[in-house]
Structures are given as structure tokens and as C-alpha cells.
């Protein structure tokens, strides 16, 4: 008892600490020390457990007995994990490792602190539910997320995806990059996530400037034409009908001239709000000019007649909304609008041509006294179409200085 070999311990004080515990408590549990291996002097780590045996009569210490277990690999692993933790804490993103067994069960083996912060995960470290990943993903992105992960496992190709996570009103865009590794009958993904929120905000701001009207927040002409193209293609592929309503506000110039542009702008904002309330979420309301708005009514009928009835009903709702008084800066403005409606889906007309037809129908309403709805019909509006084209040609000629004026002398 008095002669524990102090030459064993890398730190000589560990010998005295071991003896002190034995003397005080009579037992030592899992006493960890770094020691020199006998003969080779290799440095290894051990854990000791021992008890002191005393003389039954005198109580004098006789010897101690116990066990020594080498834990060098365990210590190396713990040090490696500690080093990994320190390194991962310095990485701006988050590291993770999870696996899928041959039976399809998921197990998460590692999540760095950065991962937890980025995903708003505040659960217990080391006890991760198998559905953690899919639970964290925004519901709107969950289907794509799971399909992308499944595809990576089937093809054994790198997994890359941009998705959202949310907590309350907070939302982040993240990008995941991971490499799958076949292990036995399962797969292990080693990956990294990074925060894309700033880039996404910039992209959305750029998109907003490029595709949305700055005043009303509605899609602009460029976005409208893109959605029109998609609507026309969808109608041809699926065999149903949609419609366009062209809306021109009556006497808007008078309001601007008498009340000022700031009042006119506020009126346009209120018009945009009312138009959105008149249609469904799947429909598109856009502002394509100063006082010109358009609405795309998607999938409103399987036949032209059915779609025409639905389009007229929607146009009448818009007309009623425009006829109600607008309260703008302590005064009421009574207004109206002229609407042109075109149903499409059973022909091969292009988006530009459909919009032109809606404009022609709207022009017919203007010519007949405004404040009404006209449904475009090719036969009944042939004269209006000719007049529309003539007016457009004259406008273009004036803009291009293509008209000349000649005086014919009259002689008495």
C-alpha cells in the first residue's frame, strides 16, 4: 500500500491522489490516469478501480486489490470529438451525419452546434428523433425535401437542396450538401448546411423589382405575360378553359388632374386590393399600365360556354367592387371601370393576341358609354378589331413621324 509505483504515472501527483482517496474512503472507482506501459514506456490511458484491505484485528492496511482497464482508444475518440466540436463551432454553417438502415429506419449520429442554431432545434443533444430532419423543414418544402433525399440514396449521388425552416414568425433559407456512403445494407450521409437567407432576400428583392409593380405590389406586365404563357400551355395540355379580364378605370386622368398624383396612387392601391378580393388565390391580378389591370381566371370550365358564364360572373363582381365608393383622404371617390373579357383554351391563340382581344372588348365598352362588361366574340367585334388596329397603326405612325400633311390649293 505504501509503495505504489510512482514511475507508472505520467503525472507523478496522480500517485498521491490515488493513495489519498484509498486512505480516506477505502475504495476508488474509475480513477483515470495517463501512464507508461511497462518496458516499452509507451504512454497509454487507463482507468483503475480498487479497494483497500485491512487487518481484521489491528485495522492496519495490508494491501489493495482491484482492476486496471486500458481506455486509450476511448480517450482518443473523446479528444477527436472535442476537437471536432471546437472546429465545427468555428464553421459558419452546420455539420451533420445521419444514416438509413436497410429497413428504411433513420438514425442521427451527429449534429454540430451550428446545425442546431440554424435549424432552431433546441432538443436534447445526443437524443435525436428519427424524424428530426423532416420535422424541421417548412411544410411547403417537406415533400420536395424528402423526394430529394430519397433520390440521393437511390442514385448514390451528392444530395444538394435549398429549403426553408421556420420557428414561429422566423424563417430561414438553408442549403444542404451531403455525400452518401454505402455502409453494409444502409447508407450514411455526411453533410453540411449553410444559411442562404441573405442571398434569398436579395434574389426576392430583385425579382420584386423586375416582376412586380412597385406601387401596388401586383405582378407587372412582364410577370403577367409569363403567367399567361403558362396558362395557355396548361389549357392546351389539360383541355380546360381559362379567361382574361382587361380592366380600364374610367376617368382616372380626371382624378389625377384634380386631386393630385398622390391621391391617384392611393386609389390605385385600393383598386388592387379590391381586385384581389374578387378572385381566387389561384388566379392572377396584375397591373400592366397606369390605370390598366388584368386578371387571369384559371381553370374556370371544361367548355367555352361554361367558362364564359364563370368569367362574366367574375367580371360582374369586379364591376360591383369598382362602383362602390373609395374613401381616400377624407373624401369619397365614386368610380367605375370598363371591362373586356376573353375566354381561351380551345384554340391556338398566343398570349399577345388574347390580351389584344380583351383590349378590343374593353374598347367597345368605352365606346358605348363605359362602366360595363363586354365578352369578346370574333364575329360581332370584327368592326371593333379593324378600328382597334387602325388606331394602333395611327399611334405608331405619329410616334415614328411617318405621317405627312399636304395642302391642296383651291383655285377660283
> What are the φ and ψ backbone dihedral angles of 345, each rounded to 5 degrees?
140, -25
| Residue 291 designated active-site | yes
Which of these is catalytic: 141, 250, 291, 359?
291
Question: Over 3-17, what HEC string results?
Answer: CCCHHHECCCHHHHH
- Locate all alpha helices (DSSP H) within 26-138, ordered by sequence: 72-90, 113-118, 132-136
Question: Within 10 Å of residue 47's Cβ, how many Cβ atoms?
Answer: 16
Selection from 158, 166, 152 nearest residue 192 by Cα: 158
Q: List Cα–Cα distances, 192 to 89, 92, 175, 206, 314, in angstroms.
A: 13, 10, 8, 27, 50
3-state DSSP call for residue 216? Answer: coil
Alpha carbons 151 and 27: distance in angstroms, whole number: 57
> What are the φ and ψ backbone dihedral angles of 131, each rounded to 5 degrees?
-95, 20
Selection from 255, 261, 272 nearest residue 216 by Cα: 272
Point out the residues that are catalytic.
Answer: 291
Amino acid at each position: 500500500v505504501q509503495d505504489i509505483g510512482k514511475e507508472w504515472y505520467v503525472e507523478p501527483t496522480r500517485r498521491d491522489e490515488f493513495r489519498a482517496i484509498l486512505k480516506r474512503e477505502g475504495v476508488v472507482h474509475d480513477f483515470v490516469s495517463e501512464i507508461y506501459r511497462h518496458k516499452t514506456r509507451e504512454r497509454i490511458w487507463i482507468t483503475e478501480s480498487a479497494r483497500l484491505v485491512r487487518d481484521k484485528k489491528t485495522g492496519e492496511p495490508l494491501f489493495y486489490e482491484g482492476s486496471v482497464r486500458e481506455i486509450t482508444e476511448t480517450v482518443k475518440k473523446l479528444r477527436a470529438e472535442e476537437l471536432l466540436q471546437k472546429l465545427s463551432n468555428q464553421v459558419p454553417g452546420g455539420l451533420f451525419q445521419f444514416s438509413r438502415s436497410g429497413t428504411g429506419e433513420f438514425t442521427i449520429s451527429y449534429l454540430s452546434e451550428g446545425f442546431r442554431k440554424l435549424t432552431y432545434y433546441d432538443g436534447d443533444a445526443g437524443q435525436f428523433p428519427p424524424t428530426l430532419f423532416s420535422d424541421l423543414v417548412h411544410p411547403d418544402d417537406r415533400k420536395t425535401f424528402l423526394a430529394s433525399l430519397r433520390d440521393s440514396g437511390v442514385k448514390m449521388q451528392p444530395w444538394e437542396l435549398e429549403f426553408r425552416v421556420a420557428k414561429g414568425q422566423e424563417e430561414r433559407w438553408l442549403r444542404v450538401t451531403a455525400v452518401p456512403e454505402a455502409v453494409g445494407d444502409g447508407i450514411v450521409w455526411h453533410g453540411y448546411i449553410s444559411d442562404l437567407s441573405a442571398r434569398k432576400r436579395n434574389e426576392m428583392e430583385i425579382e420584386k423589382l423586375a416582376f412586380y409593380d412597385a406601387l401596388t405590389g401586383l405582378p407587372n406586365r412582364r410577370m403577367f405575360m409569363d403567367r399567361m404563357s403558362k396558362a395557355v400551355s396548361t389549357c392546351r395540355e389539360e383541355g380546360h378553359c381559362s379567361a382574361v379580364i382587361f380592366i380600364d378605370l374610367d376617368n382616372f386622368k380626371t382624378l389625377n388632374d384634380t386631386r393630385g398624383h398622390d391621391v391617384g396612387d392611393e386609389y390605385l392601391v385600393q383598386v388592387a386590393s379590391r381586385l384581389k378580393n374578387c378572385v381566387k388565390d389561384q388566379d392572377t391580378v396584375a397591373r400592366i399600365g397606369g390605370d390598366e389591370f388584368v386578371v387571369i381566371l384559371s381553370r374556370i370550365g371544361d367548355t367555352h360556354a361554361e367558362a364564359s358564364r364563370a368569367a362574366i360572373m367574375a367580371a360582374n363582381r369586379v364591376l360591383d367592387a369598382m362602383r362602390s365608393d373609395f374613401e381616400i383622404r377624407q373624401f369619397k371617390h365614386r368610380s367605375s371601370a370598363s371591362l373586356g373579357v376573353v375566354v381561351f383554351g380551345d384554340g391556338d391563340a398566343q398570349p399577345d393576341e388574347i390580351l389584344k382581344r380583351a383590349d378590343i372588348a374593353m374598347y367597345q365598352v368605352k365606346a358605348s358609354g363605359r362602366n360595363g362588361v363586354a365578352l369578346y366574340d370574333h364575329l360581332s367585334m370584327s368592326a371593333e378589331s379593324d378600328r382597334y388596329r387602325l388606331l394602333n397603326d395611327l399611334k405608331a405612325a405619329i410616334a415614328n413621324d411617318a405621317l405627312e400633311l399636304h395642302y391642296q390649293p383651291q383655285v377660283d
